[in-house]
Amino acid sequence: MKKIGFASDHAGYELKEFLVGYLDALGYDIYDFGCDSPERCDYPDFAHPLANAVVAKEIDMGIAICGSGIGMSMAVNRHAGVRGSLCWDVELAELTRQHNDSNVLVLPARFIDNTKAVQIVDKYLATAFEGGRHVERIAKIEDSD
Protein backbone atom coordinates (compact mmCIF):
# COMPACT_ATOMS: atom_id res chain seq x y z
CA MET A 1 0.00 0.00 0.00
CA LYS A 2 1.18 3.54 -0.71
CA LYS A 3 2.87 5.68 1.90
CA ILE A 4 0.99 8.97 2.13
CA GLY A 5 2.30 11.99 4.00
CA PHE A 6 0.09 14.76 5.38
CA ALA A 7 0.79 18.35 6.35
CA SER A 8 -1.57 21.14 7.33
CA ASP A 9 -1.78 24.42 9.11
CA HIS A 10 -4.49 25.30 11.62
CA ALA A 11 -7.03 26.07 8.88
CA GLY A 12 -6.52 22.63 7.38
CA TYR A 13 -6.21 20.71 10.63
CA GLU A 14 -9.78 19.34 10.80
CA LEU A 15 -9.78 18.24 7.15
CA LYS A 16 -6.34 16.65 7.61
CA GLU A 17 -7.52 14.69 10.63
CA PHE A 18 -10.60 13.52 8.73
CA LEU A 19 -8.57 12.41 5.68
CA VAL A 20 -5.90 10.73 7.82
CA GLY A 21 -8.64 8.62 9.41
CA TYR A 22 -10.25 7.91 6.05
CA LEU A 23 -7.04 6.74 4.33
CA ASP A 24 -5.82 4.88 7.42
CA ALA A 25 -9.06 2.87 7.40
CA LEU A 26 -8.39 2.01 3.74
CA GLY A 27 -4.99 0.59 4.69
CA TYR A 28 -2.65 3.34 3.51
CA ASP A 29 0.58 3.92 5.43
CA ILE A 30 0.10 7.39 6.93
CA TYR A 31 2.87 9.83 7.87
CA ASP A 32 1.62 12.94 9.65
CA PHE A 33 4.00 15.90 9.55
CA GLY A 34 1.60 18.12 11.52
CA CYS A 35 0.15 20.36 12.63
CA ASP A 36 -1.19 18.68 15.73
CA SER A 37 -4.00 21.02 16.79
CA PRO A 38 -6.26 23.79 15.50
CA GLU A 39 -4.08 26.39 17.25
CA ARG A 40 -2.61 29.06 14.96
CA CYS A 41 0.58 27.97 13.24
CA ASP A 42 2.61 28.62 10.10
CA TYR A 43 2.12 26.34 7.09
CA PRO A 44 5.80 26.33 5.95
CA ASP A 45 6.78 24.60 9.21
CA PHE A 46 4.84 21.54 8.03
CA ALA A 47 5.05 21.89 4.24
CA HIS A 48 8.84 21.68 4.12
CA PRO A 49 9.19 18.40 6.07
CA LEU A 50 6.48 16.86 3.89
CA ALA A 51 8.21 18.03 0.70
CA ASN A 52 11.58 16.77 1.96
CA ALA A 53 10.06 13.33 2.56
CA VAL A 54 8.64 13.27 -0.98
CA VAL A 55 12.00 14.24 -2.47
CA ALA A 56 13.82 11.63 -0.35
CA LYS A 57 11.23 9.02 -1.46
CA GLU A 58 10.40 8.26 2.18
CA ILE A 59 6.75 8.59 1.16
CA ASP A 60 5.06 7.97 -2.19
CA MET A 61 2.86 11.06 -2.20
CA GLY A 62 1.86 13.95 -0.02
CA ILE A 63 -1.35 15.75 0.82
CA ALA A 64 -0.95 19.32 2.04
CA ILE A 65 -3.87 21.35 3.36
CA CYS A 66 -4.31 24.99 4.33
CA GLY A 67 -7.18 27.45 4.16
CA SER A 68 -6.82 28.48 0.51
CA GLY A 69 -4.24 25.90 -0.57
CA ILE A 70 -2.12 28.69 -2.01
CA GLY A 71 0.42 28.95 0.80
CA MET A 72 1.00 25.20 0.95
CA SER A 73 1.36 25.13 -2.85
CA MET A 74 4.01 27.82 -2.75
CA ALA A 75 5.93 26.14 0.05
CA VAL A 76 5.99 22.56 -1.28
CA ASN A 77 6.85 23.70 -4.79
CA ARG A 78 10.03 25.37 -3.53
CA HIS A 79 11.55 21.87 -3.46
CA ALA A 80 13.11 20.47 -6.64
CA GLY A 81 11.34 17.24 -7.47
CA VAL A 82 8.03 18.19 -5.88
CA ARG A 83 5.09 18.82 -8.16
CA GLY A 84 2.40 20.12 -5.83
CA SER A 85 -1.02 20.71 -7.35
CA LEU A 86 -3.80 22.76 -5.83
CA CYS A 87 -7.06 20.93 -6.58
CA TRP A 88 -10.61 21.85 -5.61
CA ASP A 89 -12.26 19.61 -8.19
CA VAL A 90 -12.09 15.92 -9.10
CA GLU A 91 -11.21 16.61 -12.74
CA LEU A 92 -8.21 18.72 -11.71
CA ALA A 93 -6.97 15.88 -9.49
CA GLU A 94 -7.23 13.43 -12.37
CA LEU A 95 -5.54 15.72 -14.89
CA THR A 96 -2.64 16.67 -12.62
CA ARG A 97 -1.81 13.01 -12.04
CA GLN A 98 -2.21 12.09 -15.74
CA HIS A 99 -0.33 15.04 -17.21
CA ASN A 100 1.94 16.40 -14.47
CA ASP A 101 2.75 13.30 -12.42
CA SER A 102 1.90 15.39 -9.37
CA ASN A 103 3.29 13.97 -6.15
CA VAL A 104 1.69 16.38 -3.67
CA LEU A 105 -2.01 17.09 -3.66
CA VAL A 106 -2.83 20.47 -2.13
CA LEU A 107 -6.35 21.04 -0.82
CA PRO A 108 -8.09 24.31 0.09
CA ALA A 109 -9.88 23.49 3.36
CA ARG A 110 -12.01 26.64 3.39
CA PHE A 111 -13.40 25.94 -0.08
CA ILE A 112 -14.28 22.23 -0.04
CA ASP A 113 -16.15 19.97 2.36
CA ASN A 114 -15.21 16.47 3.55
CA THR A 115 -17.26 14.77 0.81
CA LYS A 116 -15.58 16.76 -1.97
CA ALA A 117 -12.16 16.19 -0.37
CA VAL A 118 -12.70 12.41 -0.36
CA GLN A 119 -13.74 12.48 -4.01
CA ILE A 120 -10.64 14.48 -4.94
CA VAL A 121 -8.28 12.31 -2.89
CA ASP A 122 -9.77 9.07 -4.23
CA LYS A 123 -9.37 10.22 -7.84
CA TYR A 124 -5.86 11.56 -7.21
CA LEU A 125 -4.64 8.32 -5.64
CA ALA A 126 -6.33 6.11 -8.25
CA THR A 127 -5.02 7.96 -11.31
CA ALA A 128 -1.77 6.97 -12.98
CA PHE A 129 0.66 9.18 -14.86
CA GLU A 130 0.20 8.83 -18.63
CA GLY A 131 3.85 9.32 -19.50
CA GLY A 132 4.49 9.90 -23.18
CA ARG A 133 4.63 13.52 -24.26
CA HIS A 134 4.24 14.63 -20.66
CA VAL A 135 7.63 13.24 -19.58
CA GLU A 136 9.55 15.86 -21.56
CA ARG A 137 7.34 18.65 -20.26
CA ILE A 138 7.87 17.61 -16.65
CA ALA A 139 11.62 17.52 -17.18
CA LYS A 140 11.44 21.18 -18.27
CA ILE A 141 9.93 22.19 -14.92
CA GLU A 142 13.28 21.67 -13.20
CA ASP A 143 15.24 23.35 -16.01
CA SER A 144 15.37 27.00 -15.06
CA ASP A 145 18.20 28.01 -17.42
Domains of the chain by range and CATH?
Answer: 3-142 (3.40.1400.10)
Query: Tell me: the pLDDT tens digits for 19-67?
Result: 999 999 999 999 999 999 999 999 999 999 999 999 999 999 999 999 9
For the whole model, what pTM was predicted? Answer: 0.95
Alpha-carbon span 108 to 37, nearest angstrom: 18
134 part of the active site = no
132: confidence class by pLDDT, cuts 50, 70, 90? confident
Marked catalytic residue, from 10, 48, 99, 134: 99
